[in-house]
Amino acid sequence: MKKLAKLDLNRCPQNHGCPSIRVCPVGAITQKNRRSAPVIDEALCIGCGKCAMFCPRKAIFMVKED
């Protein structure tokens, strides 16, 4: 079963550069600008969970995909 990172928009204040971008080992997280929410590319995500552990607002969480 694969794990994927998901974003909870209600927890992300969308007012700063996403700090989790730099911990993703595969570059799966991008952000258009500092006032936009980060976007997680599910095709690239390997489910390592680093971004979820790193986000100070707990806005990124892991889900299991069938």
Rounded Cα distance between 41 and 18, Å, is: 15
**3-class SS at 63?**
strand
Q: Is 49 in the site for ligand SF4 (CB under 6 A)?
A: yes
Q: Find the helix or strand (DSSP H, E) in which 30 lies.
A: strand 29-30
Q: How far is the CB of 22 from ligand SF4 (least distance, A)?
A: 10
Closer residue to ligand SF4 in complex, CB, 14/47: 47
Q: Is 26 in the site for ligand SF4 (CB under 6 A)?
A: yes
Q: Is 21 in the site for ligand SF4 (CB under 6 A)?
A: no
